Amino acid sequence: MPENTDRRIGNSPLLLGAVVMLIVVVVAGGVVLWYRMSTTDSTPTQTTEVQASLAQLAHRDEPLVVTLCYPFDGALACGSAAVKRQPDTQSQLREVLLSLLGDQRAAEAAVIRGVKLRALYVDASGKATVDLTPLEQKEVRASAWEEHLAIYAIVNTIMQNFEDIKQVQFLRDGKESQTLAGHMDLLRTFTKRTDLVKQ
């Protein structure tokens, strides 16, 4: 057998180096591929979270359309209004009630026209406490039915826009009060009355 045809890998350091280098390149390529695949799995979630955060920031400047209930022609009527978005339920509820109390349609009712929002509290059980105060130091003048509709205009507005709120309580000047305009018992809690809304 000729001498130059009987070469083995062990006798050629160049060939051995090339095989080792090829193994290193294949292993490194596998590691890089594995790394890319493992980070690619989490990228869509991160991208979705970033997109959701950006969408939330974009919506923060858009007004929120809410439903206001107000006394009209012996019953309650409902209409929409745009209010500024707020970061939490209590602040958003305050914004909605301020919109109701300042709405021209609602201001036709003597009780709503004669009060302002003093404070507002929402507790974990889903009870909203609305603290009203008369604009003037004298009593709010209204009939029993006008007071009834004004109270339920506030209650229905709250519960129509905030599903988490299950009942509404009223205070007058920070204290429990028998009545707001001399007729209706405010020492209890209230829930929405859809039967008062004009169809």
pLDDT of 98-111, one tens digit each?
999 999 888 888 77
Better-predicted residue by pLDDT, 99 or 56: 99
List the one residue out of 82, 122, 79 whose CA is nearest residue 99: 82
pLDDT at 17 over 70: yes
Tell me the percentage of the chain whose pLDDT exceeds 70: 77
Cα–Cα dist 127/164, whole Å: 9
Given pLDDT bands bounded at 50, 70 and 90, which one contains residue 89?
A: very high
Instruction: Give the SS3 label for residue 34.
Output: helix
pLDDT of 115-165, one tens digit each?
899 999 999 999 999 999 888 766 667 788 888 899 999 999 999 999 999
> Which amino acid, one-letter code, is at 109?
A
Dihedral angle of Cα 51, 55, 57, 63, to the nearest 10 degrees:
180
| pLDDT in the model for residue 68 | 94
* Mean pLDDT computed over 3-23: 66
- Indicate the domain borders of the chain: 3-60, 64-196
| pLDDT in the model for residue 28 | 77
By CB neighbour count within 10 A (0-12 exposed, 13-18 middle, 19+ buried), where does 98 fall?
middle
Cα–Cα dist 192/159, whole Å: 6
